[in-house]
Structure 1
């Protein structure tokens, strides 16, 4: 949360306020509800907060430099009086709160600092920052949050329609930003303009390896390992991905202290859906036993650099999949293929969810069509076994009467 401080707000005190790595709000000691927010970017924005009708409202008055501390104080007093009287406040030059609120860039910095950095894993943090820097801030960074309506969001979404998955991700992130702004009292309740944007249908991302493709992949892994073209620990990582159904990040961040061969478990402390245990099959156990335990290096997939782990297996994967003739297969598809093989062997969807560490049933439901395929195949085998008998009954000679 933003820090709370109290002092007399004046031109001198505002200009002397320190700029830190996080936002800080300083409240005026003489006019309750009047304050100034200091952003990590160095921007200082006057604000007013008051309560009416059982709910709190926080409005932006303007940036320091565009209005003075005295002007902001007078506007704050007027806003407080307007809201208490049941009137909609009017800010500088007849502008509404929407025209005087924080910009998308200002809210984005708070969003990244107070929400994403606290609640999201590093990979998600990087993805959020990338979407902000590439898609949202260039066009919307200087736009006031309250000035963004449905039409603008729809236009942004449409501008990315040739990449539907990314278009949906951009709107999702903008929607989350609006939701947090609403929670912080700097956006009106129920005013998220992203709510009405209809998402694009996304092309299926699942790719499942056939039995023959698994064999080809296994053969190539053995070849590149023998030839020394791929680091042995990276080869082991691919084998563990195929044999456990784990996520790439779960295998690459696995420590030896999390491996219990006696209990037959991998204890994932920081998995995407929370801590969980993964059963070690005999095949996975052999892979783990074949890996050296490097003194001073806690990582299972150890780098050649002292004390470090392998952090990127994308490059060797491009080599491996090209040699195996699997250019359309992503590393994450190994996890999908683990699930499809389990279904083919008759495992239930709830069991698949446990194997993969899914927290929600809906996540495992994506494999329902594979389960139906197995049912269809089973029905076909039963029907085929009956076909000859039925044909035999039909062609059986009648007894002479």
Structure 2
């Protein structure tokens, strides 16, 4: 190996021989520091190196320090001394670099890797990002290994009692955010290792919340049975009087939710290419449980879709105000329906209303309702022996639900008409 006094003048150009014909890298060892050298590639790229043997190893270890320019000969030589000293003490700098890199992995790094490696829905990715950038913003750029059980307990209680912004208690958000953190740290435990293969994190600090999770009562809110007819009657009349396309979309979307029991996101993003009017079904290719399903439509739902106005250039069944986009949640409509029903209402409450009507009033088996509402099931017979995707065979069931709802509206309208007639009769009699 040629030797050369590695100083700036020599390394820059003049003292280096022409290496262009060389088929591979050429090494130049420093004349004053054993184990310190310069590697020149066939294209002329120059990098500093250090080389020594670890006791007990069969051959020398060569480590790249960095490129000339980023490193000066003097700084590279000093770093080479440190590396050579480590190797003489039996320490492999390559393993040490890997260890340091693993221990420096941040919560942000883990999140990015987790989102890259996992096949997640857009909504799940959004929730993970939201909590990492808000709930755990102070930890995002810190090594994930530095998150302790004490830190987890403190932050959990803060969110539980004050919310992520300090505006009020948010127990559900406390549970959700720390469940996400637990998943991210479990991923880090599996993925990031010491040079000897052991995990950089031995225990998940979120496990400290065992039996401390906030108790969340399941929501049971829906349209009260005695108000179903009045709500449906209002929607039917409001549909006839809708004064613009956005209002009409909101009303029809609400009616579609009641008639089908699907999730709001599944209804709002429904496109015309996934609706078959002639055969009476609509298709959800990627619902929450990730099982594609073809759901039957009642005659009422078919009429609603048949009479919807299609917007040129917009693929959505329920188009919104913005060109080419679908409807947003019609908050004003839910407030009005809540006033009629006597309880606050949201889009998801229509799903509960559908399920309650199906089971309590139409006496449809729960397993059938679960399939129509696309709930996950662990029933082996259902999963392996019954058609759970193409559900046209359940059309009689959705028809019974729709007929019951419509019957309640007819009864309500008849009652209102009768009360009006009685009122007019009394008024004439008094006159």
* TM-score normalised by the chain length of structure 1: 0.61
| Structure 1 position 165 matched with structure 2 position 140 | no
Encode CA deviations 1:88-138: one digit per residue, 9 max, x unaligned.
x8889xxx96994222233333334x14xx52222222222221222112x
| Structure 1 position 176 matched with structure 2 position 183 | yes
Pick closer, same or farther for the CA change 1:155–1:83 going to 2, 3 Å: farther
Q: Provide the residue aligned with 1:57 in structure 2.
A: none
Q: Provide the residue aligned with 1:153 in structure 2.
A: 152
Residue of 304, 312, 315 corresponding to 1:298:
315
2:368 & 2:295 partners in 1: Cα distance?
13
Encode CA deviations 1:7-45: one digit per residue, 9 max, x unaligned.
xxxxxxxxxxxxxxxxxxxxxxxxxxxxxxxxxxxxxxx
Q: Provide the residue aligned with 2:200 in structure 1.
A: 188
Q: Provide the residue aligned with 2:346 in structure 1.
A: 330
Pick closer, same or farther for the CA change 1:223–1:134 going to 2, 3 Å: farther
Q: Secondary structure at 2:294's aligned position in 1?
A: strand
Structure 1 residues without counterparts, runs of 5 or longer: 1-63, 363-401
The 5 Å alignment of 1:22-101 reads 74=83, 100-101=103-104
What's the CA shift for 1:342? 1.5
Q: Provide the residue aligned with 1:348 in structure 2.
A: 365
1:151 & 1:328 partners in 2: Cα distance?
39
Contact 1:98 1:145 in 2 (8 A): no
> What's the RMSD between the two structures over aligned residues?
3.6
Q: Provide the residue aligned with 1:136 in structure 2.
A: 136
Q: Secondary structure at 2:109's aligned position in 1?
A: helix
1:155 & 1:197 partners in 2: Cα distance?
11
Pick closer, same or farther for the CA change 1:74–1:315 going to 2, 3 Å: farther
Q: Provide the residue aligned with 1:20 in structure 2.
A: none
1:146 & 1:306 partners in 2: Cα distance?
47
Q: Provide the residue aligned with 1:123 in structure 2.
A: 123
**How many pairs were matched up?**
284
Q: Provide the residue aligned with 1:201 in structure 2.
A: 215
Contact 1:99 1:147 in 2 (8 A): no
* TM-score normalised by the chain length of structure 2: 0.57
Encode CA deviations 1:313-354: one digit per residue, 9 max, x unaligned.
243334433442545222111112211221212222222211
Contact 1:236 1:287 in 2 (8 A): yes
Structure 2 residues without counterparts, runs of 5 or longer: 1-69, 162-169, 194-198, 380-431
1:196 & 1:281 partners in 2: Cα distance?
50
Q: Provide the residue aligned with 1:222 in structure 2.
A: 236
Q: Provide the residue aligned with 1:260 in structure 2.
A: 276
Contact 1:128 1:173 in 2 (8 A): yes
1:83 & 1:194 partners in 2: Cα distance?
34
Q: Secondary structure at 1:359's aligned position in 2?
A: coil
Pick closer, same or farther for the CA change 1:280–1:90 going to 2, 3 Å: same
What's the CA shift for 1:216? 2.8
In terms of mean alpha carbon deviation, does 238-247 or 199-208 score higher?
199-208
Encode CA deviations 1:220-252: one digit per residue, 9 max, x unaligned.
323443443661122111111000011111111
1:149 & 1:226 partners in 2: Cα distance?
60
What's the CA shift for 1:294? 3.0
Larger Rg: 2
Q: Secondary structure at 2:289's aligned position in 1?
A: coil
| Structure 1 position 244 matched with structure 2 position 243 | no
Contact 1:255 1:300 in 2 (8 A): yes
Encode CA deviations 1:350-369: one digit per residue, 9 max, x unaligned.
2221111122349xxxxxxx
In terms of mean alpha carbon deviation, does 206-215 or 273-282 score higher?
206-215
Q: Secondary structure at 2:325's aligned position in 1?
A: coil
Encode CA deviations 1:24-83: one digit per residue, 9 max, x unaligned.
xxxxxxxxxxxxxxxxxxxxxxxxxxxxxxxxxxxxxxxx99xx99969949x86x9669
2:314 & 2:208 partners in 1: Cα distance?
51
Greater relative CO, 1 or 2 (CA 8 Å, sep 6+): 2
2:127 & 2:342 partners in 1: Cα distance?
26
Q: Secondary structure at 1:105's aligned position in 2?
A: helix
Pick closer, same or farther for the CA change 1:293–1:142 going to 2, 3 Å: closer
Pick closer, same or farther for the CA change 1:260–1:225 going to 2, 3 Å: closer
Q: Secondary structure at 1:160's aligned position in 2?
A: helix
